[in-house]
Amino acid sequence: MRYLFLLLLALALLACKKKDQLLGKELLGPEILLNGITSDTFYLATSVILEDSMVTDNAANVVLGSYNDPKFGVFNASFYTQLRLAGINPNFGDPASIVVDSFILGLEYAGYYGALNTQYFEVFELTESLSNDSTYYQFSTKTHSSTNLIPAGKESITPDPLNYTIIGDDSVQAQLRIPLDTNLAKQFITEATNGSVTFTSNTNFQGYFKGLLVQTNNGAQSVGQGGVFYFNLNDPGTKLTIYYRQDGVEKTYDFLMNSTCADFSHVEVSRNGSAVEQVISNPSQGLQEFYAQAFGIRAKVLIPGLNQFSENQLIHRAEIHLPIQFQLGSKYKPGSSVSFATKKTAASQGYINTGVLGVYSESNKEFSADLKSYVQAVINEDIENTGLIVSPRFFVNSAERIIFNGPNTINKMRPKIIITYTNF
């Protein structure tokens, strides 16, 4: 009887162990992994997708500036934002005793892309309100006045995101400091002291002054010239400040741009005659090189060979390697990661995020990731094999672009996926 009990116990343990093995790689014994089948001969069909409707309101940062890319064309970015009062009912005292020294729009840098060439800036007062309840796209606009608020002769500024900014006797994180017309500051002070309700609440103030459009107007730029700059409007260092003296005493008053303000980036990319436009027009050229760029271009990688698998095959690993074209020292450096998405079905309108990021290796000049969950989902027919959509991770708040090698590239490294699996 004792031997019978031990035999039944052993069979039960073996049965439980076999069932657990079907749950995933983490529960597989090392001997199963060692006996897995590995293949790296899958064909990858590569192309691009043009996006024309991207929501850009209240992103982590806005983008500003322009550059002329040799492969992608001219990238031009501006932004719209509301302002808020640092404090209601400011006590400016007698306006006649006030001397306005300067009126500065300070934008704290959150990064940049391209070169640090001098750019020509413009700031306009909005004549149409913004709303946090509205959705804004990269093509959205708001009406504005025709008068540049930057005094004549001060529009050309050379951005310097790499060094601390000196304000008075203080060193602060790098800022773009844009001088505005002091007459507007005087107008605000007068409005706050004339008995109106403009400065009694943010709602009243935003009805009176609807916000700002900040843009560049650089004209024709040479290929390789220019850059795009990122600004965190929620950072305390980002604000519009009146610097004034009252009876000889230096004072300041701030207007804020924070998370309760509506804002959005407006981006235009002129790809006429560019290499990217040629691939959009003729997808087969994407087999030589294909592209991804923030605000418009996503790379697509289709793996037809996934259809050869069946549901009784368990994926342990599916490492994708996407080599890129990049020379050290180039101003157009790829970001640290890319995102992978897909569609549930070919007819689906939106994308499903795979939850996996491709990490860039500077030594290998490639993005790589383990997409075993995606491959297993295709095999299990949870999703259709519609292809992977590859994008810069910061797709609506950067100017990053990537040139990928296609399977027919003349370069040494080609895209590939290495899949290890077990038959059950």
Confirm whether 291 is domain-assigned: no
d(CA 424, CA 419): 16
* Measured distance CA(295)–CA(53) in Å, rounded: 9
Q: Examine the domain organization and report whether 384 and 264 are in the same domain.
A: no
Residue 328 has a pLDDT of: 83
249 is a domain residue? yes
318-331 as b/e, with b when 16 or more CB fall inside 10 Å?
bbbbbbbbbeeeee
Give one word for 315, left, alpha or beta, with left for phi > 0 and alpha for psi -120 to 50. beta
Residue 398 covered by a domain: yes
Q: Give the HSE-up count for residue 181: Cα atoms under 13 Å, Cβ half-sphere.
A: 14
Residue 266 CB coordination number (10 Å): 23
The pLDDT tens digits of the residues spanning 215-265 come to: 999 999 999 999 999 999 999 999 999 999 998 899 999 999 999 999 999
Under the banding of pLDDT at 50, 70 and 90, the label for residue 17 is very low
Q: Are residues 120 and 187 in the same domain?
A: yes
Same domain flag for 185 and 330: no
Write down the pLDDT at residue 16.
38
Mind giving me the DSSP string for 307-360?
GG--TTEEEEEEEEEEEB---TT-SS---SEEEEEE-SSTT-SS-EEEEEEEEE
Q: State whether 38 and 69 are in the same domain.
A: no
- My answer on whether 124 and 143 are in the same domain is yes
Write the DSSP assignment of 85-127 as a string of letters.
ESSSS-----GGGEEEEEEEEEEEEEEEEE----EEEEEEEBS
Do 79 and 37 share a domain, yes or no? no
Question: β-strand 366-370 against 313-323: which pairing, if any?
Answer: antiparallel
Residue 353 falls inside a structural domain = yes
SS3 17: helix
DSSP 8-class letter at 302: E
Is the pLDDT score of 19 beyond 80? no
Does 224 share its domain with 307? no
pLDDT at 33: 55
Instruction: Check residue 23 and give its pLDDT.
Output: 30
Domain identity same for 313 and 191: no
**245 & 305 share domain:** no
Render pLDDT for 180-217 as a digit per residue (tens, 0 to 9): 999 999 999 999 999 899 999 999 999 999 999 999 99
91-95, 127-131, 304-308: least confident range: 91-95
pLDDT in tens, 123-179: 999 999 999 999 999 999 999 999 999 999 999 999 999 999 999 889 999 999 999
Structure pTM? Answer: 0.89
Mean pLDDT of the chain: 91
30 has a pLDDT exceeding 60: no
405 band by pLDDT with thresholds 50, 70 and 90: very high
Residue at 13 is within a domain: no
Query: Structural domain of residue 237, as residue ranges?
Result: 62-270
Q: How confident is the model at residue 75 (pLDDT cuts 50, 70, 90)?
A: very high
Q: Domain boundary residue among 270, 285, 306? A: 270
Query: Could you say which of 270, 288, 323 is where a domain stops?
Result: 270
26: confidence class by pLDDT, cuts 50, 70, 90: very low
Query: What CA–CA distance (Å, rounded) separates 251 from 91?
Result: 11
Residues 27, 33: Cα–Cα separation, whole Å: 10
Query: Which of 167, 192, 197 minimizes the C-alpha distance to 179?
Result: 167
DSSP letter at 259? T
Whether residue 405 sits in one domain with residue 340: yes
The answer to whether the beta carbons of residues 255 and 84 sit under 8 Å apart is yes
Name the percent of the chain in helix, strand, coil, to the closest 5.
Answer: 20, 40, 40
Q: How many CA atoms lie within 13 A of 81 on its CB side?
A: 30
Regarding whether 387 and 244 lie in a shared domain, the answer is no
Domain final residue pick, 235, 270, 305: 270
d(CA 244, CA 416): 62
Are 262 and 333 contained in the same domain?
Answer: no
Average pLDDT over residues 98-118: 96
Q: What angle do CA 288, 289, 290 make, to 5 degrees?
A: 130
Whether residue 284 lies inside any domain: the answer is: no
**289 pLDDT tier (thresholds 50, 70, 90):** very high
pLDDT over 80 at 361, yes or no:
yes
In angstroms, rounded to a whole number, what is the distance separating the alpha carbons of residues 360 and 348?
Answer: 29
Confidence of residue 311 (pLDDT cuts 50, 70, 90): confident
The total of structural domains in the chain comes to: 2
CA 30 from chain center: how many Å? Answer: 40
Write the CA distances from 217 to 46, 211, 231, integer angstroms: 36, 19, 18
- The three-state secondary structure class of 35 is coil
Does 7 map to a domain?
no
Percentage of the residues of the chain whose pLDDT score is greater than 90: 86
| Residue 378 covered by a domain | yes
The predicted structure's pLDDT at residue 388:
98
